Structure 1
Amino acid sequence: MDARSHPIAATVEEDTTDALLLWVLVWSELAAFGILLVGFLIVGLLQPDAFAAARSHLDPLLAGINTLVLLTSGWQAALATRPSASLKQRRRALVNAALFGFAFVGIKLFEYSAEAGVAGDPQFGSFFELYFLVTGFHLLHVVFGAFVLIIVAWRPKPGNVELITTLWHVIDLVWIVMFPLVYLV
């Protein structure tokens, strides 16, 4: 009888594989967003006047509200991971996290609608192309993550809850870094 046929050894091997997959996903997400944000900063250094003029058309207050919405979503996701949480509490927390994620999306789309009118102005250089690329890529992650939160809420196995909530926190972390770099610098 080898280690793979033993139930405890198989569980430990699966847990190790799951953890490895989780951290590969986390680091790949952080690397992708890091590259985008570094590119945004470099172009901002090359076009400081255009970036300053373009930033005056952003709404940092609305983005700040969206930051609070996303952090509230992350808090709900964290509640789902509590060992003492019942199945009902875990499901409710995951659904709430997803709903706050969708609220973030709605606010962001409203924000985009105001910015779209000035985005094509050549005086802003590459700002809006990069802005929509970076924030849009993040927005897609929020949409996808919110749908996965709903799916996991349906069958909240501990490994799935850990996976999506960790990735959800990475999405939060990226926004926390992105918000000051895009809206305030």
Structure 2
Amino acid sequence: MTNPSAATVDALRSVDPEASVLDSLPGHPMIWLLIFSELAAFGALLAAFSVARALDPATFAAGQAQLDPLIAAVNTICLVSSGWCAARACASAARGARAAARSWLTGAAVLGLVFVGLKLFEYADEIGRGLDLETSTFFTLYFLLTGFHLLHVVLGLVILAVVAWRADAEGVETGAAFWHMVDLVWLMLVPIIYLIR
């Protein structure tokens, strides 16, 4: 997605002096306020995780060694593929092909459900091995960050289901924008939590 240029914003303002950058973004402008606030929240949590790791690298290395990077990789493939389906839904809705948009949104949701199932399986395995919020600072932050993200995935699935009902262009773009934010956050979480030592 490209940022609107100054000329685009000026052109919008020449037509409507009350126009803002939010008006040129796909989907409903209010979703972007939600997206920006959620990105700020995740940014603060990731900064806290990074600071805590810098203060206690041994605990974080030991915690990270107990995670399953294969599940994280499969979940990454699921979410990225799901985001692609959401983008295809936007293209279909823009052409007025509502049935196709619904099909693509269904594909996005199914891949999102696979993500949820794998994440719950991963949590069950970790908890079964005695790893929980109180195990260490690493696992406290790990469960908070990934759990907060998982809640956003579930919310995103609800949003996709709601916009699929009518499958109009603005609704699908709105749902896809939120879903892409969920993808983006996961792509930031994986290297910070699972890979960077």
Provide the residue aligned with 1:61 in structure 2.
70
Q: Does 1:42 align with 2:51?
A: yes
Q: Matches of 2:195 and 2:67 in 1, distance apart? A: 10
Q: Does 1:80 align with 2:89?
A: yes
Deviations 1:134-163 (Å, cap 9, x if unpaired)? 000000000111122112111112211111
Counterpart AA for 2:145: V
Provide the residue aligned with 1:70 in structure 2.
79
> How many percent identity over aligned positions?
45
Matches within 5 A, 1:30-179: 30-82=39-91, 83-84=94-95, 86-116=97-127, 117-120=129-132, 125-179=136-190
Q: Does 1:28 align with 2:59?
A: no
8 Å CA contact retained: 1:51, 1:127: yes
Q: Aligned-pair RMSD on alpha carbons?
A: 2.2
8 Å CA contact retained: 1:81, 1:90: yes
Q: Matches of 1:32 and 1:121 in 2, distance apart? A: 20
| Distance apart, 1:176 and its partner CA | 0.4
Aligned length: 173
Q: Matches of 2:165 and 2:110 in 1, distance apart? A: 14
**Gaps in structure 1 of 5+ consecutive residues:** 1-8
Counterpart AA for 1:60: P
8 Å CA contact retained: 2:142, 2:193: yes
**Farther-moved stretch of structure 1 (174-183 vs 76-85):** 76-85
Secondary structure at the residue paired with 1:81?
Answer: helix
8 Å CA contact retained: 1:73, 1:100: yes
For normalisation by structure 1, the TM-score amounts to: 0.86
Q: Matches of 2:98 and 2:33 in 1, distance apart? A: 28
8 Å CA contact retained: 2:96, 2:168: no
**Gaps in structure 2 of 5+ consecutive residues:** 1-15
| Distance apart, 1:23 and its partner CA | 2.1
Secondary structure at the residue paired with 2:67?
Answer: coil
Counterpart AA for 1:176: L
Q: Matches of 1:39 and 1:52 in 2, distance apart? A: 16
8 Å CA contact retained: 2:60, 2:138: yes
For normalisation by structure 2, the TM-score amounts to: 0.81
